[in-house]
Copies of this chain bind each other. A is one copy, B any other.
Amino acid sequence: MKEIVSLMDYRSSIKVVDATLRDGGLVNDFYFTDEFVRALYESNVKAGVDYMEMGYKASKEMFDQSKFGKWKFCDDDDIRAIVGDNDTNLKIAVMADVGRCDYKKDILSRSESPIDLIRVATYLNTIPAAANMIEDAKKKGYEVTCNIMAISNGQESDLKVALEILGQTSADVLYIVDSFGSLYPEQIARITDTYMEFATKYNKQLGIHAHNNQQLAFANTIEAVGDGVDWLDATYAGMGRGAGNCAMELLLGFLRNPKYNNFYVIQFIEKYMNKLKEDGVVWGFDLQYMMTGLLNQHPRAAIQFTKDKRKDYAEFYKEVVAQD
């Protein structure tokens, strides 16, 4: 049982990362209006959010710029058009996927960039490439985090080797990622325990990025908080791929640090997120995501079900259960 003081007081080492544009961008191919992005930036500043992830630094060789909004690529100039010199307490982040970005070219030196934090995302089978990207970003002057994706499908022994390798890099933060939304709080507690072993050994902080397939994104995030995880990803109205993420409004409601102000989050949701939903952008908990989560599968079949506007949930259940 966690100490009661952890619910009443706050831990000043906790950082809240707004991932709305990045994970939410996976829902609408990153087609956010400038007005939306600017208002989100201003809302984050007023709400006391610590980091705002603008999107991906995706390779323009691999991805057709005409098929995505600009936040899939996050040119420094596009960021600067929103944040100017960013003379605020909100820091700016982007995600860089192993194998899907030209980081040597596209990530400039921090002194020339509006970006503060590079978030390297990797699978368990690309850890050495992730390590190279971490060192590149660190050498350029950035704060660096590393997300290990899809760990619920990996072996614990592989995860430990990955943490050993990443522990020896100069990454500041190692992230627990529940890509498929398949983990229960009890499992998060055990995984955090494993991560903490290496975090302690190598003096790293820990982060968590959760998905809401089983309505546990928020619960898993606050479980991790209680276990010592400091970096917390959240998105406005939980916007994110498939069932979405931990909702910013729930997270700021939970955290007791007086620097956070949930009013601005609610105001932004009322004005902008609900508008997105009215315009037909679909995300959030639904049965198809629960099923892939329960089966620890990638949500792509469920996302297709949603795109096809199918409503035959029982038939879909048979389909996913029948998959080898």
Contact = CB atoms under 8 A, between A and B. Distances in A.
Interface in A216-275: 216-219, 222-223, 226, 247, 249-250, 253-254, 262-263, 266-267, 269-270, 274
A314 B7 contact: no
A287 interface: yes
Contact of A226 (B2, B7, B186, B291): B186
Given A4-B190, A219-B216, A253-B214, A266 B314 contact: yes
B184 A215 contact: no
A270 B214 contact: no
Given A185-B223, A222-B184, A269-B313, A250 B190 contact: no
B263 A314 contact: yes
A189 interface: yes
A215 to B, nearest CB: 5
Interface string A294-307: 10000000000000
A54 interface: no
Contact of A314 (B189, B215, B270): B270
Most chain B beta-carbon contacts within 10 A, residue among A184, A187, A193, A217: A184
A38 interface: no
A1 interface: yes
Nearest to A315: B270
Copies of this chain in its oligomeric complex? 2
Nearest to A246: B215
Nearest to A267: B314
Contact of A215 (B189, B193, B219, B274): B219
A254 B198 CA distance: 30
Nearest to A284: B285
B215 A250 contact: yes
A92 interface: no
Contacts of A7: 184, 186-187
A321 B253 CA distance: 13
Contact of A247 (B215, B253, B266): B215
Interface of A: 1-2, 4, 6-7, 184-187, 189-190, 193, 212, 214-219, 222-223, 226, 247, 249-250, 253-254, 262-263, 266-267, 269-270, 274, 287, 290-291, 294, 311-314, 317-318
29 contacts: A4-B190, A6-B186, A7-B184, A7-B187, A184-B254, A185-B185, A185-B222, A185-B223, A186-B222, A212-B215, A215-B215, A215-B217, A215-B218, A215-B219, A215-B247, A215-B250, A218-B219, A249-B290, A253-B290, A253-B294, A266-B287, A266-B291, A266-B317, A267-B314, A269-B313, A270-B287, A270-B312, A270-B314, A274-B311
